[in-house]
């Protein structure tokens, strides 16, 4: 079997700021950013490796919708519910998972938040070896 897979190097779970060359048309449904800043260092994104979304309603949000509306919300999301994930490769060659959570944190912070979830390493499927050891 050929191809590439990814193994976690370490969990980060830190809030980050992101930047685009051209800001997304919809703030609550963003495209992959072109850069992010973590601990004072800016990382330029060289490639988007994967992206996915999760519109699962959690906590009190899971109980506040009628079933006929909840099935549609699971596909398209609803106000303040939804997470967007981006697996990216930076110009330095590092691979990270980023998450945008569009949940409203407070009346002053209604735009959601970005999190740097983890750093990963690239491995060849079937070999178990990191890319730099093949």
The one-digit pLDDT tens for each residue of the chain (134 residues) are 346 799 999 999 999 999 999 888 877 788 999 999 999 999 999 999 999 998 876 655 555 555 555 555 555 555 567 899 999 999 999 999 999 998 777 666 667 899 999 999 998 776 555 556 55
CA atoms within 13 A on the CB side of 123: 13
Report which secondary-structure segment, H or E, holds 83.
strand 83-90
Closest CA to 71 of 55, 47, 93, 95: 55
Q: Is there a contact between 39 and 26 (Cβ–Cβ < 8 Å)?
A: no
Which sequence spans correspond to the domains of the chain? 4-133
Q: Which residue has the tokens 């997470």?
A: 83
């Amino acid at each position: 079997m050929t191809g590439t897979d990814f193994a976690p190097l370490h969990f980060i779970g830190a809030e980050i700021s992101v930047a685009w060359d051209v800001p997304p048309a919809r703030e609550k449904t963003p495209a992959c950013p072109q850069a992010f800043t973590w601990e004072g260092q800016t990382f330029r994104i060289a490639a988007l490796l994967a992206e996915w979304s999760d519109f699962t309603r959690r906590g009190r949000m899971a109980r506040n919708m009628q079933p006929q509306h909840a099935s549609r919300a699971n596909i398209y999301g609803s106000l303040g519910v939804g997470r967007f994930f981006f697996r990216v490769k930076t110009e330095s060659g590092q691979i990270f998972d980023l998450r945008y959570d569009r949940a409203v944190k407070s009346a002053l912070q209604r735009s959601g938040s970005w999190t740097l979830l983890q750093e990963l390493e690239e491995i060849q499927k079937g070999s178990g070896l990191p890319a730099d050891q093949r």
